[in-house]
A and B are shown apart, each in its own frame.
Chain A
Amino acid sequence: MKNSTVESSNASGLDRLDPLLQHRSRLGACVLLSTVELLSFSRLKALLEETDGNLGAQLRKLEEAGYVLVKKEFVDRKPISLYSLTGAGRAALKRHLQGMEALIKSAKV
């Protein structure tokens, strides 16, 4: 009985889902960062339509997990935070998306 539950969990892709990416803001940030080299905090905020506080907290979690890197720069004498996806973040995102795909496929069956 236990084995069949594990198998069904594998087939549905639940085991591949990354708990850190199950939050939509973190998932959205990682997906956006996977398409571009660097994105500023304000750009991410505008694209994800999030508040400063929420996005800052979610990005900090991704940074602590080693999924994103942040660097500070000055543009027009204003400090900006630029985010990029790390190799570990890219691998985690790929695995998570595969898990989501498997989950949706299993639901359709």
Chain B
Amino acid sequence: MSQIHQVSEDLQYVRQAIGRRERSQQIPTPVAWTVAVYVLIGYTLLDFNTRWASLFLCVGGVVMGLCGWLSGQKAAKRAGEYDRVEARKHALHWGSIFLAVIGVIALAVSRGLEGNIVGQFIVLAIGIIYFLGGVHFDRNFLWLGPVLMVGAVAISYVPRYGWTSLGVLIALGLVVPTWFRGNARQVD
């Protein structure tokens, strides 16, 4: 009976260690902040200068994707975890944003959709990808995804600064959890 008790205690200890690992698997802070700044600038531009916004979101998106990938690798090394399979999973998941954007743009060109509607479709697609990111990688995206999806539809009903408001909301959604995470680590 004591052996059973020992086994149960060992399993409990292992479960706690796995739980600690799962809780610590979140998007690295530098990546979250880079995306937040990118979204804030890009979405604000959409309300003021659509042409510059498109250029910024396209070029900035590629640059940010590369920067995110590099800083993600660096953060993983610093955290002491190396996993090529996991890195490939992240790259495929977040890389699908580019595929979604290209898909929506191709659809828009073939159907002659208006710029604002294209933006809404892109945000809707990114919202789905964010939500799935929440399911597989970081729980913060579980609610950020739906915010994007609802925001994509709600933009139609907001007369002024709808994109800016959505950008602020997403940026806060990215920055606030990492801010608290940082403070919690300091307390530890």
Residues of A within 8 A of B (CB): 14, 22, 24, 27-28, 31-32, 35-44, 46-49, 75-76, 80, 82, 100, 103-104, 107
Contact = CB atoms under 8 A, between A and B. Distances in A.
B145 to A, nearest CB: 25
A103 B7 CA distance: 9
* Most chain B C-beta atoms within 10 Å of own C-beta, residue among A41, A47, A107: A47
B86 A103 contact: no
Contacts, number: 68
Interface in B1-22: 1, 3-4, 6-11, 13-14, 17-18, 20-21
Interface of B: 1, 3-4, 6-11, 13-14, 17-18, 20-21, 77-86
A89 to B, nearest CB: 15
Q: Is the interface of A mostly helix, strand, loop or mixed?
A: helix
A7 B8 CA distance: 23
Contacts of A100: 7, 10-11
A42 B3 contact: no
Nearest to B5: A107
B17 A38 contact: no
